[in-house]
């Protein structure tokens, strides 16, 4: 709550904190106190307290919130080589017996997520998450983008249409947004360079280490950007965040065992390969199971592609049948669309999906129809009339992308599961707490 930072710097101050650990031996009680800035050891000697006070000290449980005053002194044997001799002690709120003990199953820690968020590990990750948000905004703001706020409730899907959470909206059906892209496009026709930073929802039945049902989605959209400019924006943004973390969160990265030199080496340019080149690489590495042109990549393919990479890679020009309706046909190879995915190294998977956007009315109508046919999706065009309007009234070329923030964090911190990149993960089998 406050004071540990000052105490670690050697200043005598009032500390408000939680009791992280507790142990006693004879007439001495050792407390490890915790606030958001770290841990410090505090020691109480029986002779300094009245009997009543000592009883309280003996009874106080871990995770109680307390206020203490005392003298800071060096002690090579203590945590951080500093300790506080407690002179005054007040319980703000005595905790009940804490349900999380030292060795716990992942499921229990998720059941008690609201409490587990106080663990040192989660504190460090959540601080870094906050810095990632800050750095992302800082970079896009510096490039002249405006942050916009899209609606979360919508009638229009953007990606596949089949992964939407349906909600009852008064007397009609609506959905939780799976991407704010379409609204970002509308606002790009007013503000020219925009980004939306909001949750997206995917009713994906995937039980993987990189799928959430609710995730935070950073979606820039900019007029007169083409695929090359888009890739430059992406690699600059990702590098800015990776490098920036080393400056802002050096201690937290160390505590999480993240190699800071690795993060500092994330710099443009990132490797660019086409879908077709990627396909060939996969087939060369895995002769026993050949992919054919048009196949999508799964976890296994992503791993084959990126296992030895140190930096993310771009994969461009995917087959149109496996990409959404708004992506323009590539004139040089009409089987493909003008799009790019960014794959994180070491098999962490896709962190960004983006493309140029179809900006001409007739072309867009054509691609809607084609997508319905080839992907078996039925679009209710009434819900897209406003999106088509954008192509009728002063349209212009533009492009944009969407980055999954938890995917990015999972890679940057080398987390095993995406769940730890968000405070309250929503997955197919968990909406609580
Ligand atoms: O590739 P996606 O589906 O692209 C879009 O939604 C575009 N409309 C974005 C745009 O161009 N504005 O999703 C973009 C990114 C993925 O690359 C991935 O990082 C993340 O969103 N993502 C998920 N993250 C966590 N859990 C899920 N279930 C995710 N699905 C996508
Ligand atoms: Mg994608």
CB of 204 closer than 6 A to ligand 1?
yes
150 is a domain residue? yes
Q: Which of 93, 126, 157 is the last residue of a domain?
A: 93
* pLDDT value of residue 158: 65
Nearest to 124 by CA among 28, 241, 39: 39
379 is a domain residue? yes
CB of 158 closer than 6 A to ligand 1?
yes
Q: Are residues 88 and 119 in the same domain?
A: no
d(CA 59, CA 130) in angstroms, rounded, equals 36
Task: Supply the range of the domain harboring residue 50.
Answer: 4-93
Which of 158, 215, 355 best tests ligand 1's pocket when mutated (most atoms within 8 Å of CB)? 215
295: exposed, middle or buried (Cβ count in 10 Å: 0-12, 13-18, 19+): middle
143 is a domain residue? yes
Q: Are residues 60 and 134 in the same domain?
A: no
Average pLDDT over residues 374-400: 94
* pLDDT value of residue 281: 97
Residue nearest to atom 22 of ligand 1 (CA): 404
pLDDT above 70 covers a percentage of the chain that reads 99
Nearest-atom index, ligand 1, CA of 341: 17
Residue nearest to atom 3 of ligand 1 (CA): 159
Token pair of 290 as six digits:
């050949």
Which of 200, 298, 399 best tests ligand 1's pocket when mutated (most atoms within 8 Å of CB)? 200
88 is a domain residue? yes
CB of 212 closer than 6 A to ligand 1?
yes
Task: Check which CATH number belongs to the domain holding 61 and give it.
Answer: 2.40.50.140
Q: pTM above 0.85?
A: yes
Token pair of 362 as six digits:
């007739």
106 is a domain residue? no
CB of 323 closer than 6 A to ligand 1?
no
Q: Are residues 205 and 74 in the same domain?
A: no
| Structural domains of the chain, count | 2
Ligand nearest to the CA of 211: 1
Q: Are residues 323 and 400 in the same domain?
A: yes
Q: Are residues 40 and 179 in the same domain?
A: no
Q: Ligand 1 centre from 304 Cα, in Å? A: 21
d(CA 424, CA 49) in angstroms, rounded, equals 42
The answer to whether the Cα torsion of 240, 246, 248, 252 is positive or negative is positive
Backbone angles phi, psi at 239, to 5 degrees: -65, -40
Q: Are residues 147 and 225 in the same domain?
A: yes
Confidence tier at 102 by pLDDT (50, 70, 90): confident
* Cα within 13 Å of Cα(46), Cβ side: 8
Q: Which of 63, 93, 123 is the last residue of a domain?
A: 93
* pLDDT reading at 161 higher than 70: no
Residue nearest to atom 20 of ligand 1 (CA): 404
Q: Are residues 191 and 51 in the same domain?
A: no
| Among the ranges given (204-213, 277-286, 295-304), the one the predictor scored with the smallest mean pLDDT | 204-213
141 is a domain residue? yes
* pLDDT reading at 43 higher than 90: yes
Q: Are residues 46 and 136 in the same domain?
A: no
d(CA 248, CA 238) in angstroms, rounded, equals 15
CB atoms within 10 A of CB 360: 12
Q: Are residues 204 and 71 in the same domain?
A: no
Which of 195, 404, 405 best tests ligand 1's pocket when mutated (most atoms within 8 Å of CB)? 404
d(CA 236, CA 267) in angstroms, rounded, equals 7
Q: Are residues 84 and 148 in the same domain?
A: no
Q: Are residues 231 and 334 in the same domain?
A: yes
Nearest-atom index, ligand 1, CA of 342: 17
**pLDDT tens readout for residues 67-91:** 999 999 999 999 889 999 999 999 9
Q: Ligand 1 centre from 4 Cα, in Å? A: 40
Q: Ligand 1 centre from 404 Cα, in Å? A: 6
Q: Ligand 2 centre from 256 Cα, in Å? A: 29
* pLDDT reading at 315 higher than 90: yes
Q: Which of 38, 65, 93 is the last residue of a domain?
A: 93
Residue with the two structure tokens 């017996």: 97
Task: Check which CATH number belongs to the domain holding 247 and give it.
Answer: 3.30.930.10
> How high is the mean pLDDT of the chain?
95
Nearest-atom index, ligand 1, CA of 213: 28
**pLDDT tens readout for residues 340-369:** 999 999 999 999 999 999 999 999 999 999
45 is a domain residue? yes
What Cα–Cα distance (Å) separates residue 303 from each residue in 189, 215, 278, 306, 341? 38, 22, 12, 5, 15
CB of 215 closer than 6 A to ligand 1?
yes
252 is a domain residue? yes
Q: Are residues 130 and 48 in the same domain?
A: no
Residue nearest to atom 18 of ligand 1 (CA): 404
d(CA 47, CA 45) in angstroms, rounded, equals 6
């Amino acid at each position: 709550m406050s004071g540990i930072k000052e105490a670690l710097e050697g200043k005598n101050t009032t500390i408000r904190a939680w009791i992280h650990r507790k142990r006693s031996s004879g007439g001495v009680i050792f407390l490890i106190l915790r606030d958001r800035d770290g841990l410090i050891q505090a020691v109480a000697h029986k002779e300094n307290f009245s009997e009543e006070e000592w009883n309280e000290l003996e009874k106080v449980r871990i995770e109680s919130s307390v206020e203490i005053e005392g003298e800071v002194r060096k002690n090579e044997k203590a945590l951080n080589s500093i300790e506080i001799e407690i002179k005054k002690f007040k319980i703000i709120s005595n905790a009940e017996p804490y349900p999380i003990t030292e060795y716990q199953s992942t499921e229990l820690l998720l059941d008690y997520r609201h409490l587990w968020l106080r663990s040192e590990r989660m504190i460090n990750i959540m601080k870094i998450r906050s810095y990632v948000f800050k750095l992302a905004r800082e970079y896009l703001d510096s490039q002249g983008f405006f942050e916009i706020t899209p609606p979360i409730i919508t009638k229009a899907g953007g990606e596949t249409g089949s992964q939407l959470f349906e909600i009852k909206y008064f007397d009609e059906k609506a959905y939780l947004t799976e991407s704010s892209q379409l609204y970002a496009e509308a606002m790009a026709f007013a503000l020219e360079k925009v980004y939306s930073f909001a949750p997206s929802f995917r009713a994906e039945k995937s039980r993987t280490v990189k799928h959430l049902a609710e995730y935070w989605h950073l979606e820039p959209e900019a007029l007169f950007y083409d695929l090359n400019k888009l890739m430059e924006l992406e690699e600059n943004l990702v590098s800015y965040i990776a490098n920036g973390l080393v400056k802002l969160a050096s201690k937290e990265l160390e505590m999480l065992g993240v190699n800071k030199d690795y993060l500092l080496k994330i710099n443009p340019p990132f490797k660019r390969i086409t879908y077709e080149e990627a396909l060939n690489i996969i087939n060369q590495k895995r002769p026993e199971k050949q992919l054919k042109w048009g196949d999508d990549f799964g976890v296994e393919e992503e791993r084959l592609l990126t296992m030895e990479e140190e930096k993310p890679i771009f994969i461009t020009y995917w087959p149109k049948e496996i990409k959404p309706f708004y992506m323009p046909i590539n004139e040089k190879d009409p089987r493909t669309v003008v799009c790019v995915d960014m794959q994180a190294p070491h098999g962490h998977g896709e962190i960004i999906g983006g493309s140029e956007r179809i900006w001409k009315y007739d072309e867009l109508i054509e691609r809607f129809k084609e997508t319905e046919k080839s992907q078996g999706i039925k679009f209710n065009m009434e819900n897209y009339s406003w999106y088509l309007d954008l192509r009728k009234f002063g349209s212009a070329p533009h492009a944009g992308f969407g980055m999954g923030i938890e995917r990015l964090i999972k890679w940057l911190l080398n987390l095993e599961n995406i769940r730890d990149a968000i405070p309250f993960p929503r997955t197919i089998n968990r909406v609580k707490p």
